[in-house]
Amino acid sequence: MEKHMAVCPYCGTGCKLNLLVEGGKVVGAEPLNGVTNEGELCLKGYFGYDFINDTKILTPRLRNPMLRRSRDAAFEAVSWDEAIQYAATKLSAIKAKYGPDSIMTTGSSRGTGNETNYVMQKFTRAVLGTNNVDNCARVCHGPSVAGLQVTLGNGAMSNSIPEIEHTKCVLVFGYNVADSHPVIAKRIIKAKERGAKIIVCDPRKIETARLADLWLPLNNGSNMALVNAFANVLINEGLYDKEYVANHTEGFDEYKAIVDKYTPEYAEAITGLPAEDIREAMRIYAAAPSATILWGMGVTQWGQGVDVVKGLSGLALLTGNLGRPNVGVGPVRGQNNVQGSCDMGVLPTEFPGYQKVTDPEVRAKFAKAWGVESLPDQIGFRLTDVPHLAETGKLKAMYVMGEDPAQTEPDLALVRKGFEAMEFVIVQDIFMTKTAMFADLILPATSWGEHEGVFSAADRSFQRFTKAVDAKGDVKHDWEIISLLATAMGYPMHYDNTKQIWDELRELCPIFYGVTYEKMEGLGAVPWPCRDLDSAGSKYLYEGNVFQRPGGKGLLFATEWRPPRDQLTEEFPLILCTVREVGHYSCRSMTGNCAALQTLADEPGYVTINPKDAKALGIRDQELVWVSSRRGKVISRASVTDRTNKGAVYMTYQWWIGACNELTIHAVDPIAKTPEYKYAAVRVEAIADQVWAENHVQQEYAKLKGGLSNAVARATKKAPAYA
C-alpha cells in the first residue's frame, strides 16, 4: 500500500492526512500529526475521499472537454485543441465587441490549490484585462475581510488554530464549530478542560452551546445590538483596558457615543436576552487574562455583516486581546482554501498578497512581471452582482472554475436567469454540476488527490499537499487549462509544475516571500506574513500592538443596529436561516459522491423546527413538508427538535430537492456584497399525502441526477475517440 501526504479538502482547519492507495485507487485516509490537527480527523477527513474514484452516487466525474454549439443542442465531447480554440475565439470576440469588463472569472476555494488561483487571476488581469475575478469568500467570510481590514488592517484570523486551546475565554459568536470544524471543536473542549470559560452567542442550541458556561440565545437578526451592548457594558462598567485603548486605538469618543444608547436593558428588547446575561458575558470576557473571539457565517451572512465584524474586533481592542499569543479575533474560514483564494488575489479589489489594484505602483510591478503594458485599475465586479449584471447586459461571458453558483448563491431563480442571459459560459470542474448544465463549454480538471499544490488553512498557514493517484480520462490540471487558454488568446503562458508558479508569486508578494516549498515539506506549515527566507512565519498578527493601518492604531467602530431586510408577515411568519451540517460540504458535488457521507444524510434534507411551531402546524417529526418564501417553494423533511428556537427554521444548503437557496433573499451587505442567507421569511406547511410526497422526492431526485449523468454519457458516446 502506498501513502501520499495530503491536506483535507473540506474545511479551513487544514488537517494533514495520508491517502492510502492500492492499485492506483484511493482506499483510505489516515490522520497525520499536522500542526492544526495533531493526529485527528473528522467524519469528512476520514471517509470523504471516494469521490475521487468516480462513484457516480450523485454525479459523474468529467472525463472529456464537452461543447454545445447552441443552448438547445446536447453536449458533445471534443478534443482539447478544439475546446481551447473555441473558448479563445469566443472570449476574444466578446472582449473585442463589448470590452474586457464584459467577462468575469472565478477562482476556486476548494481542491485546486493556491497556484491555480494565482494563474486564474493573472489570466483575468493580464490576458482578459479586467479585475472581474472573485471567489466564494463573497458569500461567506467576505465581510470578515472587509471589516477587519478597516479596523485592524488585516482580514484574516489574528491567531493560530493551536492557540485556541490555551486561551482562557472563548467567545463563540454565530459559529457552529462542531458542524463546521470538528477538529477545532476539539481545541475548544481542550481549552475548557484547561479552565477556559466558554460563552456562546447563537439562537440555536448548537453543540458548543451545550458545553458553554454561558449561552446567549439571541433573537435571529439582532447581532449588532448585542455587540453594541457588549461594548456598552465594557465601557460603562469600566471593564475595558484604558491604557491599551489610549495607546493602541483610535475613534473611542465616536464609538462610545454610539454604543452609549445600547445599554443591556435597551438591547434586551431587540435581542430577547436578559440584561444580566449580557453583563455577565462581558464580565467573564473582560476578566480572562487571555480571550479569543471566534465567529462564522452567523455573523457574516447578513445585510449588516461588515458592521458586526468591526464591532467584534472592537471588543478585542477594548480589552487588549490582540497582538500576543492565545488571544485575538478568528473569522474561521469554512471552505478548505477560501483563505487561499483571497491570499492569491482572486478578488476584484486586490492582487495576490493583498496588494490593491488601485495602487499605481503595485500595478506597475505586476505589469512588469507579467510582461504587459498596463493592468486594469478599476475595481471589478463581485460574484453576487452577476445575475443582475447579466440580465442588464453588462456581463456577456463567465468562466466559472470549481464552483457551483447554481446551487450555492441566494435566490436561485435569479441566478439561473443570469446564466441564461449570458452569451458564453465556461465551467471548469471535476464533476458535472447544476451550474455546468448552463455551460456552453465544459472543461474537465484533475481532482484533489490527482494533483499537488499549496492550501492556506483558516489561520493563514500555507501547507503543501501531494498527488496520490493518476487522473483517469482526458483531463488536465486547472492551471494547465488556463495557461493553454491564455496562450491561445495570444499571451504565451507555460508552467512546468506548481512550484514554478509558487516561486513566481512568492517573488511578487512580500508577505509570502519567505514561504518556500522546502519550508512546507512534509508536515511543515508556514503562516504568513513570512517576509524572509529564514523566518518561520507569524503565528499571530499585530506583534507589539502595531496594527496594519496608517498610524498603526486599531479603529474602534460601532454603528446602529438595522433590522433584517425580509419581512415576517402572516403569510410568511417564520424565519428561515441556512446552515450546514457536519457530513456534507458546499454544493455537495464532492461529499454527495462519498458513500459514507451520503449514507448518513441524503435528499431532501431537513428543515429543523421547534416542537411548539411544529405542533401548531400539525407537523410530525420526519414528515415531508412544504417550505415556501416570496421567491420559491421546496419540499423538505421536518426534524422536530428543541434545539431549534421557536419562530425560526433551519435548512442546510447542499440539497437539490430541499434547495433552501430557492427561498433565500438576494439582499446583500452594502460593502462586502454578502447575501443575507440567515434571514428569509418563510411558511412551512404539512403535506397530507405523505406517500405522494415521498414518491415525488424520489422522482425529482432521479430526474435531476439522470439529467446530469445523461448529459455526460451522451456526449462521451458520440465521440469515443476522446473517451
Partner 1 sequence: MNRFVTANPSKCIGCRTCEVACALAHSDGAGVEGLAPDTFKPRIRMVRTADVSTAVMCHHCEDAPCVNACPNNAIVYRQNSVQVEQERCLGCKNCVLACPFGVMDVVTVPAVRQFAGMTMSLGVKAQAHKCDLCVGRDAGPACVSVCPTNALTLMDREAMDETLRRRRERAALEAAEVAA
Binding site residues, ligand SF4, CB under 6 A: 8, 10-11, 13-15, 37, 41-42, 44-45, 181-183
The CA distance from 486 to 496, in Å, is: 15
Give yes or no for residue 596 binding partner 1 (CB under 8 A).
yes
Which one of ligand SF4, partner 1, none is in contact with 186 (Cβ closer than 5 to 8 A by kind)?
partner 1
Rg (CA), the chain: 25
Q: Which residue is nearest to ligand SF4 (CB)?
A: 45
Give yes or no for residue 50 binding partner 1 (CB under 8 A).
yes
Among 3, 21, 46, 388, binds partner 1 (CB under 8 A): 46
Residue closer to partner 1, measured from CB, 563 or 611: 611
- The answer for residues whose C-beta is within 8 angstroms of residue 400's C-beta and 6 or more apart is 105, 106, 425, 426, 427, 428, 429, 435, 439
> What is the side-by-side order of every strand in the sheet holding 169-173?
214-216, 197-201, 169-173, 292-295, 328-331
CB of 163 to ligand SF4, least distance (A): 17
Give yes or no for residue 43 binding partner 1 (CB under 8 A).
yes
- The answer for residues whose C-beta is within 8 angstroms of residue 218's C-beta and 6 or more apart is 201, 202, 203, 226, 271, 272, 273
CB of 539 to partner 1, least distance (A): 23
Return the exposure string of 495-531: e unless at least 16 CB atoms fall within 10 Å of the residue's CB, then b. Answer: beebbebbebbbebbebbbbbbbebbeeebbbbbbbe
CB of 198 to partner 1, least distance (A): 11
CB of 40 to partner 1, least distance (A): 5
Give yes or no for residue 298 binding partner 1 (CB under 8 A).
no
Q: What is the dihedral of CA 322, 325, 326, 330, to 10 degrees?
A: 50
The CA distance from 255 to 362, in Å, is: 34
Give yes or no for residue 42 binding partner 1 (CB under 8 A).
yes
- The answer for residues whose C-beta is within 8 angstroms of residue 638's C-beta and 6 or more apart is 606, 607, 608, 609, 614, 619, 620, 621, 622, 623, 624, 625, 684
Residue closer to partner 1, measured from CB, 179 or 343: 179
CB 288 within 8 A of CB 197: yes
Which one of partner 1, ligand SF4, none is in contact with 292 (Cβ closer than 5 to 8 A by kind)?
none
Q: State how far the alpha carbon of 109 is from the alpha carbons of 323, 451, 553, 714, in Å.
A: 28, 15, 31, 30
Residue closer to partner 1, measured from CB, 12 or 143: 12
CB of 529 to ligand SF4, least distance (A): 23
Residue closer to ligand SF4, measured from CB, 10 or 677: 10
Helices (H), 519-659: 595-600, 611-617
Kindly tell me the burial class for residue 275, based on how many C-beta atoms sit within 10 Å of its own C-beta (0-12, 13-18, 19 or more).
middle
Residue closer to ligand SF4, measured from CB, 39 or 289: 39
CB of 288 to partner 1, least distance (A): 20
Which among 158, 103, 558 is positioned nearest to 322, based on CA atoms?
158
Phi/psi at 426 (nearest 5 deg)?
Answer: -110, 135
Residue closer to partner 1, measured from CB, 211 or 719: 211
Which one of partner 1, ligand SF4, none is in contact with 185 (Cβ closer than 5 to 8 A by kind)?
partner 1
CB 565 within 8 A of CB 658: no
Q: State how far the alpha carbon of 321 is from the alpha carbons of 166, 171, 190, 327, 650, in Å.
A: 13, 12, 20, 5, 33
Which one of partner 1, ligand SF4, none is in contact with 138 (Cβ closer than 5 to 8 A by kind)?
none
Which one of partner 1, ligand SF4, none is in contact with 205 (Cβ closer than 5 to 8 A by kind)?
partner 1
CB of 184 to ligand SF4, least distance (A): 7
The CA distance from 161 to 539, in Å, is: 9
Q: Which residues from 123-182 bind partner 1, rule CB under 8 A? A: 178-179, 182
Which one of partner 1, ligand SF4, none is in contact with 595 (Cβ closer than 5 to 8 A by kind)?
partner 1
Residue closer to ligand SF4, measured from CB, 181 or 248: 181
The CA distance from 210 to 199, in Å, is: 10
Residue closer to ligand SF4, measured from CB, 34 or 376: 34
Q: State how far the alpha carbon of 718 is from the alpha carbons of 80, 194, 234, 434, 713, in Å.
A: 16, 63, 69, 22, 9
Which one of partner 1, ligand SF4, none is in contact with 211 (Cβ closer than 5 to 8 A by kind)?
partner 1
CB of 695 to partner 1, least distance (A): 17
Residue closer to partner 1, measured from CB, 216 or 227: 216
Residue closer to ligand SF4, measured from CB, 87 or 185: 185
Which one of 36-44, 135-143, 279-287, 435-443 is the stretch in contact with partner 1 (CB under 8 A)?
A: 36-44
Site string for partner 1, 602-641 (x = CB under 8 A): x--------------------------------------x
Residue closer to ligand SF4, measured from CB, 199 or 332: 332
Give yes or no for residue 643 binding partner 1 (CB under 8 A).
yes
Which one of ligand SF4, partner 1, none is in contact with 604 (Cβ closer than 5 to 8 A by kind)?
none
Which one of ligand SF4, partner 1, none is in contact with 641 (Cβ closer than 5 to 8 A by kind)?
partner 1
Q: With contacts defined by CB under 8 A, how many residues of the chain interact with partner 1? A: 35
Q: What angle do CA 486, 489, 493 make, to 5 degrees?
A: 30
Which one of partner 1, ligand SF4, none is in contact with 50 (Cβ closer than 5 to 8 A by kind)?
partner 1
CB of 151 to partner 1, least distance (A): 31
Per DSSP, which regions of 377-534 are E strands?
A: 397-401, 424-429, 441-444, 453-456, 461-465, 525-527
Extract the C-alpha cell encoding 7.
491536506
Among 297, 594, 625, 711, binds partner 1 (CB under 8 A): 594
Residue closer to partner 1, measured from CB, 78 or 184: 184
> What is the side-by-side order of every strand in the sheet holding 25-31?
2-7, 16-22, 25-31
HEC per residue, 226-285: HHHHHHHHHHHCCCCCHHHHHHHEECHHHHHHHHCCCCHHHHHHHHCCCHHHHHHHHHHH
Residue closer to partner 1, measured from CB, 516 or 610: 610
Which one of 38-46, 140-148, 335-343, 443-451 is the stretch in contact with partner 1 (CB under 8 A)?
A: 38-46
CB of 597 to partner 1, least distance (A): 8
Site string for partner 1, 184-203 (x = CB under 8 A): -xx--x--------------
Give yes or no for residue 38 binding partner 1 (CB under 8 A).
no
Residue closer to ligand SF4, measured from CB, 159 or 586: 586
Neighbours of 263 (CB within 10 A): 17
Among 211, 362, 617, 667, binds partner 1 (CB under 8 A): 211
The CA distance from 644 to 236, in Å, is: 34
The CA distance from 306 to 285, in Å, is: 22
Residue closer to partner 1, measured from CB, 17 or 558: 17
Residue closer to ligand SF4, measured from CB, 45 or 410: 45
* 88-91: long-range pairs with CB below 8 Å, 24+: 88/485, 88/488, 88/489, 90/397, 90/423, 90/424, 90/440, 90/441, 91/128, 91/397, 91/399, 91/424, 91/485, 91/489
Q: Which residues bind partner 1 (CB under 8 A)?
A: 27-28, 40-43, 46-47, 49-50, 53, 55, 178-179, 182-183, 185-186, 189, 205, 207, 210-211, 582-583, 594-596, 598-600, 602, 641-643
